[in-house]
């Protein structure tokens, strides 16, 4: 269990801990590559200086072989470091993405209301992908820089203690002070970077979703200006980041120049006094030059760390978001057979202190068909959320004798299926959309579900049959076909109790009646809870429950509720009149009209 007091970046690192040893190995390989680069310049400086003295050729053989070895080892070790490091980083990223998705799944669907669609997209994609910088641009560069600096300073200290001290002090400045200055300069901008990216994604997603409405109301310029304003803010933040990076680069070059100059100031008197041989002067001058080239990556690492803090904090917010329904300490599994659903005195609320339903009593026997009706806001969808285990409740709700709050969520939803007015259709084939109900189902089972949903003839006319792609959100198919695809998915899942929550709400009258008839026939073997505004056709259900202001106002058969002449009877007669009028209108004669006065 990760402590909530740990920094967000540390929590992110722990989320990728499965690849920790592989990343440490990559850091050591990178340190070896960087050390080879520094040693290559030092060995080359010694070789050139010694060759200038024109000694016998054989005395240069070892140095020449060393230079070749260091040149090859630098390339090989760098390749190995990139290979191992990126493999570990991507594996750790995959594990982190699963962890974040698991937290989102824990919140779904009711707990996700606190996050917008675009915001969730940014957190799951951009913020998680930003974690790739943690091992590659923060951890590995620091491991390499510290190890190479330590080895180089130790060698210079052995060769010339004064040079070692000077380069060591300036290395500490390059390792600590310069990144700190860069980090402080860009901190405010980097903290706002991830939220600004999320705001831009949210604005774009919302604009695309509402394009027809925005166009119809002439709000294109206003929406475009808002998106452009957020993008301009993001551009300003990037400019601030670039300034900080440029500042870090300039300070790095300054410290590098000081290191080379200071090393020469210490080394020249040592050479003239005979403390060291002249051939080592070039080595003392060029080793700091090569070392600070390695340390030059640290300002960008400091920026990457600040950027990570913003993304890590947003990921932490998802992890810390309270689950709407607390998981039971010892979850119970529901019996294999469905023995009925019983609600006794059930209450629930979406907002604390505002009950959506209260004191609801309801029982559904195996094979029974129950319709729940009532005006908008009466608590119908809240009731469905309680039964699906999406919302905490008071009172008692038992499925086959097992209290829902004590049941395992996955086991619960293996008994109960839900089809809503916004059934999601994925951007894939019809068959794959149906197979979501039972991923292991074969083609014959998918075809059977499509036939039960009365889609066989329509699918047979498509160019690729069930393999036809339907586009994002099922954009290439009609509303009735989308609901039938979702119904086929539900049929393939074979749930004992099926909840239909306004499944035909956005369909026209004839299409809604056809889809309702299809559902009624296809779900004949299941217990059914139908939540609907459409009252015509409820004559066939076993029982009708009327909700008013979150409470059961009455229940009975269609005939019994009509005899009471209450809300249900009044609404049913109004709906019947509208249906009859709609049927009469096409047959009415169309008048030719009388011409008006001219002029």
Instruction: Give CA–CA dist 572/371, Å, rounded.
Output: 14
Nearest Cα neighbor of 136 from 297, 18, 8, 309 is 297
Instruction: Give CA–CA dist 533/554, Å, rounded.
Output: 16
Contact (Cβ atoms closer than 8 angstroms) between residue 443 and residue 503: no
Task: Please give the domain boundaries of the chain with CATH numbers for all domains.
Answer: 8-320 (1.20.1560.10), 341-585 (3.40.50.300)
Report the pLDDT value the prediction gives residue 13, as an integer from 0 to 100: 74
* Residue 168 CB partners (closer than 8 Å, separation 6+): 153, 156, 157
Report the pLDDT value the prediction gives residue 73, as an integer from 0 to 100: 93
**Tokens 């947003």, located at residue:** 314
Contact (Cβ atoms closer than 8 angstroms) between residue 289 and residue 41: yes
Is the model's pTM score more than 0.85?
no
Instruction: Give CA–CA dist 371/42, Å, rounded.
Output: 85
Segments in the chain below pLDDT 70: 1-6, 15, 113-114, 116-118, 506-509, 511, 583, 585-599
CA angle 317, 318, 322 (to 5 degrees): 90
Report the pLDDT value the prediction gives residue 508, as an integer from 0 to 100: 67
* Residue 305 CB partners (closer than 8 Å, separation 6+): 9, 138, 183
Report the pLDDT value the prediction gives residue 598, as an integer from 0 to 100: 45
φ, ψ dihedrals at 94, nearest 5°: -60, -40
Could you tell me which residues are beta bridge partners of residue 197? none
Nearest Cα neighbor of 182 from 305, 308, 289, 294 is 305
Instruction: Count the helix, strand and coil residues of the chain and give each as a percent rounded to the nearest 5.
Output: 65, 10, 25
Instruction: Give CA–CA dist 168/254, Å, rounded.
Output: 15
Contact (Cβ atoms closer than 8 angstroms) between residue 391 and residue 583: no
Report the pLDDT value the prediction gives residue 591, as an integer from 0 to 100: 54
- What are the structure tokens assigned to 449, written together? 């579900």
Lay out the sheet containing 497-501: strands in order across.
416-420, 497-501, 527-531, 369-373, 543-548, 551-556
Report the pLDDT value the prediction gives residue 1, as an integer from 0 to 100: 39
Report the pLDDT value the prediction gives residue 83, as an integer from 0 to 100: 93
């Amino acid at each position: 269990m990760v402590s909530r007091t740990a920094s967000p970046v540390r929590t992110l690192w722990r989320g990728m801990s499965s690849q920790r040893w592989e990343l440490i190995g990559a850091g050591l390989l990178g340190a070896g590559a960087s050390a080879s680069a520094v040693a290559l310049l030092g060995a080359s400086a010694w070789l050139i200086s010694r060759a200038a003295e024109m000694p016998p050729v054989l005395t240069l053989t070892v140095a020449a072989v060393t230079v070749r070895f260091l040149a090859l080892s630098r390339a090989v070790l760098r390749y190995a470091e990139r290979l191992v490091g990126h493999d570990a980083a991507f594996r750790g990223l995959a594990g982190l993405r699963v962890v974040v998705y698991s937290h989102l799944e824990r919140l779904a669907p009711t707990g996700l209301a606190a996050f917008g669609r675009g915001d969730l997209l940014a957190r799951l994609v951009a913020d998680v992908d930003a974690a790739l910088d943690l091992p590659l641009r923060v951890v590995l560069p620091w491991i390499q820089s510290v190890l190479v600096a330590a080895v180089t300073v130790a060698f210079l200290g052995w060769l010339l203690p004064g040079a070692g001290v000077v380069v060591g002090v300036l290395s500490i400045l390059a390792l600590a002070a310069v990144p700190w200055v860069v980090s402080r300069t860009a901190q405010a901008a980097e903290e706002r970077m991830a939220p600004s990216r999320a705001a831009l994604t949210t604005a774009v997603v919302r604009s695309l979703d509402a394009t027809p409405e925005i166009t119809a109301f002439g709000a294109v310029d206003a929406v475009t200006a808002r998106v452009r304003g957020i993008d301009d803010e993001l551009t300003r933040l990037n400019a601030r980041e670039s300034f900080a990076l440029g500042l870090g680069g300039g300070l790095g070059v300054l410290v590098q120049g000081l290191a080379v100059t200071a090393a020469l100031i210490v080394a020249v008197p040592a050479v003239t006094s005979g403390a060291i041989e002249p051939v080592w002067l070039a080595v003392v001058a060029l080793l700091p030059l090569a070392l600070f080239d390695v340390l030059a990556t640290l300002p960008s690492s400091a920026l990457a760390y600040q950027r990570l803090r913003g993304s890590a904090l947003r990921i932490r917010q998802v992890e810390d978001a309270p689950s709407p329904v607390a998981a039971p300490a010892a979850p119970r599994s529901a019996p294999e057979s469905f023995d009925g659903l019983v609600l006794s005195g059930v209450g629930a609320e979406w907002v604390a202190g505002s009950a959506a339903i209260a004191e609801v009593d309801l029982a559904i026997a195996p094979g029974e068909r129950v319709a729940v009706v009532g005006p908008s806001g009466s608590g119908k969808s809240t009731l469905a959320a309680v039964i699906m285990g999406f919302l905490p409740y008071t009172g008692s709700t038992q499925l086959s004798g097992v209290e829902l709050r004590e049941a395992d969520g996955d086991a619960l939803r293996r008994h109960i299926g839900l089809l809503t007015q916004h059934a999601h259709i994925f951007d894939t084939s019809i068959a794959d959309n149906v197979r979501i109900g039972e991923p292991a189902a074969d083609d014959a089972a998918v075809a059977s579900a499509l036939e039960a949903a009365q889609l066989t003839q329509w699918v047979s006319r498509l160019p690729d049959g069930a393999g036809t792609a339907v586009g994002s959100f099922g954009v290439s198919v009609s509303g009735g076909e989308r609901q039938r695809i979702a119904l086929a998915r539900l049929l393939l899942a074979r749930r004992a109790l099926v909840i239909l929550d306004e499944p035909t709400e956005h369909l026209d009258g004839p299409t809604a009646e056809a889809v309702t008839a299809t559902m009624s026939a296809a779900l004949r073997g299941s217990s059914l809870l139908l939540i609907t505004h459409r009252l015509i056709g409820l004559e066939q259900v076993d029982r009708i429950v009327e909700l008013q202001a979150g409470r059961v106002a009455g229940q009975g058969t269609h005939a019994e509720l009509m005899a009471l002449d209450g809300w249900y009877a009044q609404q049913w007669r109004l709906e019947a009149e509208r249906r009859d009028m709609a049927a009469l209108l096409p047959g009415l004669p169309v008048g030719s009209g009388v011409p008006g006065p001219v002029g």
